[in-house]
Structure 1
Amino acid sequence: MGGDHGATTKKTEISFTGRFASSAFSACVAEICTIPLDTAKVRLQLQKTAVGSGNGAGLPKYQGMLGTVGTIAREEGMVALWKGIIPGLHRQCLFGGLRIGLYEPVKTLYVGNDFVGEVPLSKKILAGLTTGALAICVANPTDLVKVRLQAEGKLAPGMPRRYSGSLNAYSTIFRQEGLGALWTGLGPNVARNAIINAAELASYDQVKQTILKIPGFSDNSLTHILSGLGAGFFAVCIGSPVDVVKSRMMGDAAYKSTFDCFVKTLKNDGPFAFYKGFIPNFGRLGSWNVIMFLTLEQAKKIFVKEVPN
């Protein structure tokens, strides 16, 4: 994400439209590849501690990332793993395009146009927090619909589905619960996405900058993969607790507020509940970041223009 590295004398620049388009496209590619892991993550997070649920020792239905993927595929068919892909793509076009596309311009805004040298980490974090918060305020309805579609498991025979598809979900929520309901969970969602965005973009930027100082490394795909993995790891460590609260609030109307959800989760399920689904979350965010940044670094080349110094 950083500036242009290497010994080029020509200056290159990319328009906001180019940044937005390449960011939205890269985010959509990553979403399509990794949404089965995201669906597994949502199911694991929404699963309450098992209470003798008639299956012998009361074991939870979903166990582990691959176990959850297997259970969903077996019970509901492979297609169920891509539940929520349409609002997921709506979300990535809006959210991915804005948060990633605005990152460089906002970072420049914070350091000033005439800034020369390495941007301080604090400014990178601040830029990530800003663009993450702004982008999710626009994209929250897409997130809500995606979680609701993913949360719906196998239904009893004759039970109608809550929503027939993503557009039906938007209109049903609007009709039955009001316009404001589309922004349910905005508080934890802003917190989560600002934090995760800052962790992803700032750490990608920082890890890439550090790797490029190591002899033998250049601005190539290996560097992008390593930086993407670093970005995913930091994002999950920092963002997991707010992610669990967000999924629970969006998937279950029993919570009065973010704080209420946090307290009830802590009391009923213990502190480890906040890292429920850590492995699928890292599997998801790690692979998501690797795919997204690899695609982005290539996609940006289409929009880059050389300008005279």
Structure 2
Amino acid sequence: MAATSSFAAIYFTSALAACFAEVCTIPLDTAKVRLQLQKKAAAVAGGAGGMLATIVCIAREEGVAALWKGIIPGLHRQFLYGGLRIGLYEPVKAFFIGGTAASDISLFSKILAALTTGVIAIVVANPTDLVKVRLQADGKDTTIKRHYSGALNAYATIIRQEGIGALWTGLGPNIARNAIINAAELASYDQFKQIFLKLPGFTDNVFTHLLAGLGAGFLAVCIGSPVDVVKSRMMGDSTYRSTLDCFVKTIKNDGIPAFYKGFFANFCRIGSWNVIMFLTLEQVRRLFL
């Protein structure tokens, strides 16, 4: 990842890679959100089931296009959040190590840089995340139906009915979730790639990027699933009073396993998202930077 190019070029290549990965994987994200919002009683009464069953159910009952619900705010989100968190990673990492061109940057410095860029990016992009989740959650079988006609209508309706501050609903768990997942993704990808390149037979090629991307995605899901569930529930259901309230009610009503509800869907989503994004990012930066 180049650090000597202009920030604008780094930002736009990062945003492009993130948006492409979003388009490819948003059906998995829609299934993940539906699973995470599913209450225990609904699941027992005949909920959607697993990831594949959820995808089939959404396509059959709401149409295939429903799997791409939230794609417009999803692209808004990735353009802002993806561009900032990925684009700022190298400059922030260089800042933390004093701008030195060290070949073996410590894992701690990588994690600290990724945590920082994750927080900055999601504070800016939280409204796009909220609208994306609201659109994805607004399905035939969901309890709360808002019937937004689209992304712009959702932004306008939320501001009119709930106030502009509502666009930052769930910011607490979203900061936690995105800072943690960003650290797991960017820092672990950086670290995995560095480790692989020291092994015999490995070069800076597509296979190395593929393995590093899969490793980054798996760690991100393992570490970030609990806060991801809380974030989705708070954004999808405005009755929760706070992050703690959502956390406590989820444990009380659905049990600890609820924090890993949709885990397989989440791994398929984040694992494939990371592979596609990092492969695209590496190739795009080689072309344009």
Alignment gaps of 5+ in structure 2: none
What per-residue deviation string (whole Å, max 9, x for no partner) do you get for residues 209-234 of structure 1?
11111111100000011000000000
1:19 aligned onto 2:5: no
Any runs of at least 4 consecutive aligned residues in structure 1 with deviations exceeding 3 A, and if so which?
none
Aligned residues: 288
RMSD: 1.7
- 1:152 and 1:30 mapped to 2: Cα distance? 23
Q: Matched residue of 2:48: which SS?
A: coil
**CA displacement at 1:162 relative to structure 2:** 2.3
State the alpha-carbon separation in 2 of the partners of residues 232 and 189 from structure 1: 18
| Residue pairs, 1:221-236, within 5 angstroms | 221-236=206-221
The code of the aligned residue for 1:20 comes to Y
Q: Does 1:273 align with 2:242?
A: no
Please name the residue that 1:132 is paired with.
118
User: Which of 149, 169, 183 does residue 184 from structure 1 map onto?
Assistant: 169
1:76 to 41, 50, 62: 62
- Out of 200, 203, 221, the residue aligned to residue 185 of structure 2 is 200
If each structure's helix is expressed as a fraction of its own residues, which one has the higher value?
Answer: 2
Amino acid at match of 2:163: G
Q: TM-score, normalised by structure 1?
A: 0.90
Q: Counterpart of 1:42 in structure 2: which amino acid?
A: V
Q: Distance in 2 between matches of 1:13 and 1:185?
A: 36
Amino acid at match of 1:50: A
Say which of 122, 143, 160 aligns to 1:175.
Answer: 160
Residue 109, structure 1, aligned to residue 100, structure 2: no
CA shift for structure 1 position 61: 1.9
CA distance in 1, matches of 2:220, 2:285: 23
Q: Which runs of 5+ in 1 are unaligned?
A: 4-11, 305-309
Q: Percent identity?
A: 70
Q: CA deviation at 1:115?
A: 4.3
Q: Quick one: which of 195, 200, 204 aligns to 1:219? A: 204
Per the alignment, residue 48 of structure 1 pairs with 39
Superposition deviation, residue 154 in structure 1: 1.8
Q: Aligned to 2:40, what secondary structure does the other structure show?
A: coil
Shift of 1:303: 2.8
**1:116-170, Cα deviation, whole Å (9 max, x unpaired):** 23110000000000000000000000000000000011279xxx96211000100
Which residue is equivalent to 1:121? 107
Aligned-partner residue type, residue 175 of structure 1: R
